[in-house]
Structure 1
Amino acid sequence: MAVSSPVCDFGWTAPDLTLPATDGRLLSLADLRGKTATLVIFMCNHCPYVISALDRILRDARDLQALGVGVAAINANDAATYPADSFDNMVRLARQHDFAFPYLHDESQQVARAYGAACTPEFFGFDADLGLQYRGRLDGGGRQARPDLRRDLFEAMRQIAETGQGPQDQIPSMGCSIKWRAA
């Protein structure tokens, strides 16, 4: 089922995290932080929204890293119910697509809950002091890639990297709901 993310709560501070990455490292928020800004992406392996946007996500991540933006992705889906989202499959996906950023596993789902993540893909853009400045969409493509799309995420993160402020007008991200573990 498609879900939209909530609107940006400007200035909200990024919760700390320490999670295992697909490259074998254990990384904290301090390890992920960029010089100019930080982007945290909640995504997974099986979501059709993520699959259709993955090339655009990877392109924007590389372009943002060149601007001093730290980038990381987190998969918090329940792999017991969605085996495609297992850690082993995360490792395969990251290698297959040569991720230029850490892909982290939130098996306990505590980080996703602390961030209030709602869908995949979902983008949290923070300023240099880790205050939230963007919680919007990648672009207007959804599950359809078109060459004429405005790069909403890239433009917002570039603005944050240059000015410390995100755009006032933001369109929420839409994607599959986070697959929460049964209580």
Structure 2
Amino acid sequence: MPAARPPVCDFGWTAREFRLPATDGRTHALSDLRGRNGLVLAFICNHCPYVLAVIDRIVRDARDLAPLGVGFAAICSNDAENYPADSFENMGAMAKEKDFPFPYLHDADQSVARAYGAACTPDFFGFDADLGLQYRGRLDASRAETGPEDLRRDLFEAMKQVAETGKGPAEPVPSIGCSIKWKAA
């Protein structure tokens, strides 16, 4: 199956409100997640090789963005019935194993993925302090294998710029990954 690529960033649209259960036992609303300088929403899942190749870097970047006032959350929207590795129980196990410093949210009805236009895992949405979209792009140049340690940290650098200036890069490089596993209609 070919990799999925989301469209280039549609700058400025406002993050859609939601309330989702998380592996930490709480239900989180969008407003609970934002930092004083922005927010990253990462659509990920447990089984995708593109996510697994960079999950430790996602955790690193979330930790490094927190002192810059950028909130972070991950959302799994995959059809867990046909992809049991992405079940809520398995999401909790991954969050614990990888020591996620952010909420891992379960979008069981896929409404949030649809509202955001999420296309693949991983798919990163970076918002400014007012929750306007400023970045939709890749974490780094890794693919289904972890890239070298010295790769440019695209997501981190973009969100650092958003935290400092309120604006993201003009030409982000799209993410690439497995398609969202949609439920049958």
* TM-score in terms of structure 2 length: 0.98
Secondary structure of the residue aligned to 1:135 is strand
Residue 178, structure 1, aligned to residue 180, structure 2: yes
Give 1:148's aligned residue.
150
How far the C-alpha of 1:66 sits from its partner, in A, is 1.5
Q: Which runs of at least 4 in structure 1 moved beyond 4 Å after TM superposition?
A: none
Q: C-alpha separation between the residues in 2 aligned to 1:39 and 1:141?
A: 19
1:1-183 counterparts in 2 under 5 A?
Answer: 1=1, 2-143=3-144, 144-183=146-185
Q: Which stretches in structure 2 are left out of the alignment for 5+ residues?
A: none
* Post-superposition CA distance 1:129-155 (Å, at most 9, x none): 000000000001122321120000000
How far the C-alpha of 1:181 sits from its partner, in A, is 0.2
* TM-score in terms of structure 1 length: 0.99
Q: C-alpha separation between the residues in 2 aligned to 1:145 and 1:88?
A: 29
Q: C-alpha separation between the residues in 2 aligned to 1:118 and 1:16?
A: 19
How far the C-alpha of 1:100 sits from its partner, in A, is 0.1
Q: C-alpha separation between the residues in 1 aligned to 2:74 and 2:150?
A: 25
Secondary structure of the residue aligned to 2:81 is coil
Secondary structure of the residue aligned to 2:68 is coil
Secondary structure of the residue aligned to 1:40 is strand
* Post-superposition CA distance 1:31-78 (Å, at most 9, x none): 001100100000000000000110111101100112110000000000
Q: C-alpha separation between the residues in 2 aligned to 1:90 and 1:147?
A: 26
Q: C-alpha separation between the residues in 2 aligned to 1:30 and 1:148?
A: 34
Letter in 1 for 2:154: D
* Aligned residue pairs, count: 183
* Post-superposition CA distance 1:7-38 (Å, at most 9, x none): 10110110001000001101000000110010
Q: Is the 8 A contact 2:53 2:142 kept in 1?
A: no
